[in-house]
Chain A
Amino acid sequence: MESLILLIGAALRIATPILFGALGETVIERAGILNLGIEGTLLLSSFVGFVTAQAADSLWIGLAAAVLTGIALNLLMGFLVVTLGLNQHVCGLGITLFATGFALFSFRLIYGGVSTPPSLDESFQPLNAFSGTAFAPLFSQHWLTYVSLLFVPLLSWLLFRTSFGLRLRSVGEAPDAADTAGINVFRMRYTALIIGGTLMGLGGAFLSLAQLGAFTHGIINGRGWVAIAIVIFGNWKPWRVLAGALLFSGVQALQLRLQAEGVPLPYELLLALPYLLTIVAIAIVGRNASYPAALLKPYRREG
């Protein structure tokens, strides 16, 4: 029981940045855009948040800077694929490469070739909930973890229970019809990118300002790609995205534990499992996967 609580607590912590990223990607994909820039966006947000927090000596200013970075990169994505209507895969990968290169370039300029990663004097600390009880490891999470969890019902409500959500989904399903119905497709897609960018910024900031309190080159380490997988696994629905994120982080928490206890196991294969599960899941769902119908399709008004 106790180890189970520890495990779930660790899983929630590991899930946080991935959940932020996956929820952001969900909103964006619902509006018809596949943003492969997520991996680089998480990295640059994480970095800018860290540098700003250090320079301004304020975690909150750092957090704001991370969010603004997430939004800025998503607006750039919007300019390329919404305004110009360019290929979404290539632009997304281009943004990931740019953001990664830019973060590492600036890192080298600011910190030089340091061997130990720079860290913050003070980072966001986990809440001290239920201390002294058996549940402490479960609830003593960072406040950002709770925020990420709160976004699940919030986005579920926003996307499926409000007229705003209906309009957002309609530009991802049938932009022509949405346009005819008087919805500004371009503005709606940009709105989705801003919401998604905010969430990605929070995800990046969680790693550098809360969980690690430091920045390293490999801080994101493929979490963006995991988020992309989880969005599909979760069928573009916030609650199922949460389930996917917890499944992934649960496997990872288990792997860390087994490794710490010295269980001889090819742990990489365990780490690859969620990816394979996602592929199997997409294959089984196959044609029935509820891909937003206009995903990847730029919208151009005729006339």
Chain B
Amino acid sequence: MSFKIERVPAPVWMRPLFIVLAVIITFLLVSTLVLAAGANPASAFYELLINPLTRTGARADILMMATPILLTGIAVAVAFVAGYYNIGAEGQLYAGAIFAAWVGVHSEGMQPYVAIPLMLAAGFIAGMLWALIPALLKAYLSVDEVVTTLLLNSVMLFFVSALLNGPWRDPVSNWPQSPTIATSAQFPVLIPRSRVHFGAIVAVIAAAAAWWMLSRTRFGLELRAIGKNKDAAKFLGVPVRRRLIAAALISGGIAGLAGVSEVGGIHYYLIGTLSPGFGYTGIIVATLGALSIPGVFISALFLSLINRGAISASRELSVPIYLSDIIQSVLLLVTLAALLLSQYRIRRER
């Protein structure tokens, strides 16, 4: 009697089971760290997963925290679906934030319904522009986009720093932050006494649009075809170059919106620490969501729950807040492995 490993995908209905399994394994692994921090894993997981849901304020925080990573998650998913590995959402986010801050500062006297759409458009365009260089290099010179987008993130951070220490330094406070945007450009708050802002609506609209684009249009079908097999897509007459550039630009634009949303809805000015890595978190969100928009939606909310829960856990149990980064990364790796396992089955042979 022997065992044979076969490549047989698990039925579709079982897929969520593998993700649940990954979540359980992740929490078992992370329990050891919770114990090391001198806390009871059960109470830590209560703080992480349940407690934020029981309080109105914390529930609102989850929506607020999900807004930027939903946007970067969609941005990454749109590119990854086409097999374009855009690691540059972080830089594109800042590009969007710069343009948004500029428009915001100069929209004194405008009506909000003029100023806010202008900011969104400017941020989208900025993200697209910052994504354009690696896209062209990829399409016409076959330069690997992973490295160029990654490097441009660093370049963008230096640029933001130069801007804030130079011409944009706040003349009033003299801190390295841009002047505050006009009141008319500040996003309305959606839920009273919370920080959930208009950016959440932008993110939901972007998600709906991306879902429609990817699953209901010819364009989306072509992107998915390129992602599955570039050569076959080309053979079938898909203009691969143009589609790849389009996917990269849309991805950059959506990442740019995340920057607009943080400037317009949270900070009201540009600062160097606007994003604690939302662009990279977007990669996790997109991967955990299996590159499907509904999946991205759920994983953005789930990661925000954990992020919010980590704040409670650190307050109540003094478990360091970095626990949420560890959970996110372990969950990412375990999920990838679990989804791989779902492609195989072990059969007993006689």
Q: What is A's interface to B at a CB cutoff of 8 Å?
A: 34, 36, 80, 84-87, 89-91, 93-95, 97-98, 100-102, 104-105, 108-109, 222, 225-226, 228-229, 232, 266, 268-269, 271-272, 275-276, 278-279, 282-283, 286-287, 289, 291
Let me know if B87 and A278 touch, CB within 8 A. no
* Chain B contacts for A91, CB-based, 8 A: 333, 336
Q: Which of B133, B144, B147, B322 contacts A105 (CB 8 A)?
A: B322
Count: A-B pairs, CB below 8 Å: 128
Q: How far is the CB of B164 from chain A (nearest CB, A)?
A: 9
Let me know if A94 and B332 touch, CB within 8 A. yes
Let me know if B283 and A90 touch, CB within 8 A. yes
Let me know if B87 and A89 touch, CB within 8 A. yes
Let me know if A271 and B326 touch, CB within 8 A. no
Let me know if A228 and B283 touch, CB within 8 A. no
Let me know if B336 and A80 touch, CB within 8 A. yes
Let me know if A105 and B280 touch, CB within 8 A. no
Residue of B at shortest CB range from A105? B322
Q: Which of A87, A100, A282 contacts B147 (CB 8 A)?
A: A282
Q: Which of A105, A222, A278, A283 contacts B137 (CB 8 A)?
A: A283
Given A90-B287, A101-B322, A282-B148: A272 in contact with B143 (beta carbons within 8 A): no
Give the docked Cα–Cα distance between A148 and B33 (Å).
Answer: 35
Q: Which of B148, B329, B337 contacts A84 (CB 8 A)?
A: B337
Give the docked Cα–Cα distance between A282 and B280 (Å).
Answer: 23
* Chain A contacts for B328, CB-based, 8 A: 97, 101
* Chain B contacts for A36, CB-based, 8 A: 146, 150
Let me know if A109 and B329 touch, CB within 8 A. no
Give the docked Cα–Cα distance between A105 and B320 (Å).
Answer: 6
* Chain A contacts for B147, CB-based, 8 A: 228-229, 232, 282
Does B158 sit at the interface, judged by CB under 8 A?
Answer: yes
Listed A/B pairs (15) with beta-carbon separation below 8 Å: A34-B146, A90-B287, A91-B333, A93-B283, A97-B329, A101-B324, A101-B328, A102-B326, A104-B325, A109-B37, A228-B147, A275-B155, A276-B155, A278-B151, A282-B148
Q: Which of B143, B166, B320, B332 contacts A282 (CB 8 A)?
A: B143
Q: Which of A87, A89, A268 contacts B158 (CB 8 A)?
A: A268
Give the docked Cα–Cα distance between A104 and B326 (Å).
Answer: 10
Given A34-B146, A94-B284, A286-B142: A105 in contact with B151 (beta carbons within 8 A): no
Q: Which of B147, B323, B332 has the most CB of A within 10 A?
A: B147
Give the docked Cα–Cα distance between A278 and B134 (Å).
Answer: 13
Q: How far is the CB of B101 from chain A (nearest CB, A)?
A: 17
Let me know if B166 and A225 touch, CB within 8 A. no
Interface bits B1-22 vs A (CB < 8 Å: 1, else 0): 0000000000000000000000
Q: Which of B93-116 contact A (CB under 8 A)?
A: none
* Chain B contacts for A98, CB-based, 8 A: 325-326, 329-330, 333
* Chain A contacts for B133, CB-based, 8 A: 279
Let me know if B320 and A104 touch, CB within 8 A. yes
Q: Which of B87, B151, B153, B320 contacts A108 (CB 8 A)?
A: B320
Let me know if B150 and A287 touch, CB within 8 A. no
Give the docked Cα–Cα distance between A105 and B37 (Å).
Answer: 9
Q: Which of B144, B320, B322, B340 contacts A86 (CB 8 A)?
A: B340
Give the docked Cα–Cα distance between A34 and B85 (Å).
Answer: 13
Q: How far is the CB of A183 from chain B (nearest CB, A)?
A: 23
Given A94-B284, A286-B141: A279 in contact with B333 (beta carbons within 8 A): no
